[in-house]
Amino acid sequence: MCRVTGGSDWNILDSPYVVSINYYGEYECVGSLITFWHVVTAGHCLINLDENHITVAAGVSDVRDIQQNGQSRNALRIRYAPNFNSTTLDLDIAVIKVSEPFEECDTIKTIQLCCSKLTPRTAMRVSGWGLTAPGNEDVPFILQSAVLYILKKDECVDRYATTGVFFN
């Protein structure tokens, strides 16, 4: 699977909607708060995971600080997009409902959803605790962020077709 790698340390105050999705207490994937009850994430992150062991942590740049400075909630329910395909990753989206709402503060807010058409070469910021270099499986403790640019589909296919990414 093709992944975004790289980035630099980022402060949660600059992306207070970013949350860490954890499985048995270990980082699994990043998500975004769309309401104080709901987190949107990639569906492939949650496949084959028992929702009884998923927690969502919010409000910290350093995931080691969650007990002292953040908020953590248990997953109550997971819903996948209709027609989500875990093989091709079509409609690769899931929503987690948490057991109780997160409390809003400077480091915990909901994301404003995009309501305009995205055009090629538009800069987009991504944030998370993912891989920092290809082949490096160590996940950083500090939130990372990078700027990516929207590509036309044919340009994306030309650039990434050999990575194993499916293009439908």
Q: For residue 130, give the 3-state DSSP assignment.
A: coil
How many helices (H) and strands (E) in the chain?
A: 2, 9
Q: What is the DSSP letter of 67?
A: H
Mean pLDDT, rounded, for 63-83: 91
Last residue of a domain, one of 68, 98, 128: 98
Please tell me whether residues 20 and 86 are part of one structural domain.
yes
Please tell me whether residues 70 and 144 are part of one structural domain.
no
Number of domains in the chain: 2
Please tell me whether residues 93 and 118 are part of one structural domain.
no
**Cα–Cα separations (whole angstroms), residue 24 to 37, 47, 137:** 20, 15, 18
- In angstroms, the CA 64 to CA 67 distance is 8
Please tell me whether residues 24 and 85 are part of one structural domain.
yes
Quick one: what percent of the chain has pLDDT higher than 70?
88
In a domain, 10, yes or no: no
pLDDT in tens, 97-107: 999 999 999 99
Q: Looking at per-residue confidence, does 163 or 34 come out higher?
A: 34
Please tell me whether residues 88 and 148 are part of one structural domain.
no
Owning domain of residue 67 = 16-98
Mean pLDDT, rounded, for 73-102: 94
pLDDT in tens, 39-60: 999 999 999 999 999 999 999 9
C-beta separation of 14 from 125 below 8 A: no
Name the average pLDDT for the chain. 88
- In angstroms, the CA 23 to CA 55 distance is 7
pLDDT score, position 5: 64
